[in-house]
Amino acid sequence: MDTLKSILTTITGGDNNDSSSTSSNEQIRHQLCKIDDIQNGQMKEFEIKTSLVNASVLLVKQDNKFYAYSSKCCHYKLPLAKGVLINNRIRCFAHGACYRVDTGDIEDHPGHGSLPKYNVEIVDDHVIVVGTKEELEKVERTKIPDNLEIDEKPVVAILGAGAAGFTCADMLRQNGFRGRILLFTREGTLPYDRVQLSKQPLKKPQELLLRDQPYFKKAKIDLILDTEVTNISWSTKNLTYHTLGKQMKSEQYDYLVLATGLRPRKLPPSIPGGDLRNVFYLRSMEDANNLVNKVKSPETKNIVIIGDSFIALELCGWLTTGLAGPNGKQEDADKKNVSVVMLLKAPMIRTKKLFYICKREIYYYTLGIFGEKIARAVQKVHEKNGAKFYAEANITELTGENKIIKFVQLETGESIPCDLAIVAIGSESCTELYKDSPIEMSEDHFIKVNDRLETSVEHVLAVGDISKYPLRVFNLDEVNCQHWQMACSTGHQAADTILHHYLGQTKGGSRPLKTDFYTVPIYWTTQNNKTTIRYAGYTRDPENVVIHGDLDGEFKFVAYYIVDGYVRAVAQSKYDPLSSEVAEVFHHRRNIRKEDIENDMYGYRKYLDFKTKKPE
């Protein structure tokens, strides 16, 4: 203590002054604040910029104890201090990632790292953060040991290296699985941030990667690229796969995780012209690269987006506001004529599941999420930026010249000039491998799983977009949310289920493994660089809604979705961290009544105070 005191007397104080000092073992000690400067249940970010270190620290006070972490969320490196701190969890304001306060470990996604934790010392009434320069400047921590050694058995094979499959592999390894992990993907790239493809398709591939090649090497995850799994023998636990340009091979597995995701729904054969050149779909990085190349071409003037899905509208936002000229300036971008052709009267409004019959083709549509009022406001945002919408429009044909698309023909007789069409009419599940298998499927072709994400076949799990799981937070069964966070969360739970089988109840001594899937669904959409909607919860009836705010002007609003008199989902724009706060109320299974939020948009906050009695 004497030594420390003498070091501290040399500290001059003030955030950006040289208030750090080192000891002989290169530990840096930096005074952050006085112990009463922050209250229990509060957190605060401190910038440390001195000649010794350049770091940003999040200080958290909980039950009179201080914890210090790197201050940025491991997902998109946004400040965690803007998030919600409750019951030993920090939830990021942006996309809902959750970290434990006492360990900094990631509890829920997106993002895959945990927070680097720093030592805290209290000297007199000062809070001092302690660490080496390297420790304090680190922004993410993973739990892969150096020189990791693994065994030949058991083998976990994961089909699909998207959000769900990758998270499963990563969480298995980070949390102590020491057998082989085989991660198969049809795609030729390392796992990447798929959601950015419709928002920022111009980003370079390496900017989108979830992890780089050295990470997979260090984690000893066998990532098998350009490879299609073509057959599974369920009784002998053997799978056959084919890597581009190579012979068929097979592997035995002990556990199998199905994470094959979705593919874009194609235009029906009854609409002629779907096979013309310059008709694009978007799901993979390869699709995005092909699309970007064509959009950049000066010959591409007229772009028609077929469909009104999120992906359709996010692409509309990118095409109307996100393109840049050769000098990188948006004002010098080569302007495109962007049209959106949609089947219904407003975008994204399908309020119930329906079979849509178009020229005798039958389609199964998923639910709308935000409801008609918000959907129409989103449409207006795009119209203000120059997009033209065709509502209740049936396409009869795509016509072309020399096999290249030229027009999109509507039933009304209108023909829309078109150099490039993007078809974004929803998705269908990649489940053909499981046809005629013992895997139990729902009638709309998703794989049914239980609370542990187990399918009807022993030691076979299913995760991500292809699965239908119980949503215990709202006591619902057979829910399918095609959200990035849900894909990651189901992947994480599948890893816990497998770890539980092999390692028993504990994980690295830090917490019990989760045996049952439990999360609040989180979704977000970025319609253009000024318009993001954040959503938490789940409803099948987005038209039963209470809206506060200004949809048509500032696009600043909160929408509460009501089921049987209770709030079951929230969407907001420009009211951070409201959706993360409400997500925490949902997480703790406290019921927000319609009356609570009808006249006061912050009326849910009383349920964040855990001293208040739980409402019936």
Ligand X SMILES: Cc1cc2nc3c(=O)[nH]c(=O)nc-3n(C[C@H](O)[C@H](O)[C@H](O)COP(=O)(O)OP(=O)(O)OC[C@H]3O[C@@H](n4cnc5c(N)ncnc54)[C@H](O)[C@@H]3O)c2cc1C
Query: Least distance to ligand FES from the beta carbon of 70, Å?
Result: 13
Q: List all residues 6 or more positions away from 435 whose beta carbon is below 8 Å from its beta carbon.
A: none
Give 260 or 493: the residue with its C-beta nearer to ligand X.
Answer: 260
Query: Least distance to ligand X from the beta carbon of 212, Å?
Result: 17
- The site partner of 92 among ligand X, ligand FES, none (C-beta below 5 to 8 Å per kind) is ligand FES
Please name the residue that has the structure tokens 């779909």: 281
Query: Least distance to ligand FES from the beta carbon of 109, Å?
Result: 8
Give 81 or 567: the residue with its C-beta nearer to ligand FES.
Answer: 81
Asked if residue 227 lies in contact with residue 244, where contact means CB atoms within 8 angstroms, the answer is yes
Query: Least distance to ligand X from the beta carbon of 94, Å?
Result: 12
CA 290 – CA 280 distance, rounded (Å): 8
User: Which residues contact ligand FES (rule: CB under 6 A)?
Assistant: 73, 75-76, 78, 92, 94-97, 110-111
Give 288 or 499: the residue with its C-beta nearer to ligand X.
Answer: 288
Question: Mapping DSSP to helix (H, G, I), strand (E, B) and coil, where does residue 328 land?
Answer: coil
Residue 126 has a CB neighbour count (10 Å cut-off) of 16
- The site partner of 78 among ligand FES, ligand X, none (C-beta below 5 to 8 Å per kind) is ligand FES
Query: Least distance to ligand FES from the beta carbon of 86, Å?
Result: 16
Q: Beta strands of 383-530 (E only): which ranges?
A: 388-390, 395-401, 404-410, 415-417, 420-423, 427-429, 447-448, 460-462, 467-471, 476-479, 506-507, 511-512, 522-528
CA 503 – CA 581 distance, rounded (Å): 34
Give 62 or 174: the residue with its C-beta nearer to ligand X.
Answer: 174
Give 196 or 480: the residue with its C-beta nearer to ligand FES.
Answer: 196
Give the Cα-Cα-Cα angle 534, 536, 542 (nearest 5 degrees): 90
Give 175 or 309: the residue with its C-beta nearer to ligand X.
Answer: 309
Please name the residue that has the structure tokens 């927070």: 115
Token pair belonging to 599: 């006249």
Give 407 or 524: the residue with its C-beta nearer to ligand X.
Answer: 524
- The site partner of 407 among ligand X, ligand FES, none (C-beta below 5 to 8 Å per kind) is none
Please name the residue that has the structure tokens 């556990």: 255
Q: List all residues 6 or more positions away from 269 whose beta carbon is below 8 Å from its beta carbon.
A: 361
Residue 36 has a CB neighbour count (10 Å cut-off) of 9
The single-letter code of the amino acid at 606 is K
CA 598 – CA 607 distance, rounded (Å): 15
Query: Least distance to ligand FES from the beta carbon of 92, Å?
Result: 3
- The site partner of 525 among ligand X, ligand FES, none (C-beta below 5 to 8 Å per kind) is ligand X
- The site partner of 143 among ligand FES, ligand X, none (C-beta below 5 to 8 Å per kind) is none
Query: Which is it for strands 556-563 and 545-550: parallel, antiparallel or unpaired?
Result: antiparallel
User: Is the peptide bond prior to 110 cis by the omega test (within 30 degrees of 0)?
Assistant: yes
Asked if residue 84 lies in contact with residue 101, where contact means CB atoms within 8 angstroms, the answer is no
- The site partner of 110 among ligand X, ligand FES, none (C-beta below 5 to 8 Å per kind) is ligand FES
Residue 20, φ and ψ in degrees, nearest 5: -105, 155
User: Which residues contact ligand X (rule: CB under 6 A)?
Assistant: 159-165, 184-187, 194-195, 197-198, 227-229, 259-262, 282-283, 311, 430, 433, 464-465, 482-485, 487, 523-525
Please name the residue that has the structure tokens 């000062």: 126
- The site partner of 256 among ligand FES, ligand X, none (C-beta below 5 to 8 Å per kind) is none
- The site partner of 428 among ligand X, ligand FES, none (C-beta below 5 to 8 Å per kind) is none
* Beta bridge mates, 388: 339
Element containing residue 108 per DSSP (H, E)? strand 106-108
Query: Least distance to ligand FES from the beta carbon of 80, Å?
Result: 7
Give 141 or 180: the residue with its C-beta nearer to ligand FES.
Answer: 141
Give 186 or 548: the residue with its C-beta nearer to ligand X.
Answer: 186
Query: Least distance to ligand X from the beta carbon of 315, Å?
Result: 8
- The site partner of 518 among ligand FES, ligand X, none (C-beta below 5 to 8 Å per kind) is none
The single-letter code of the amino acid at 431 is T
Query: Least distance to ligand FES from the beta carbon of 96, Å?
Result: 6
- The site partner of 97 among ligand FES, ligand X, none (C-beta below 5 to 8 Å per kind) is ligand FES
Give 96 or 176: the residue with its C-beta nearer to ligand X.
Answer: 96
Query: Least distance to ligand X from the beta carbon of 348, Å?
Result: 13
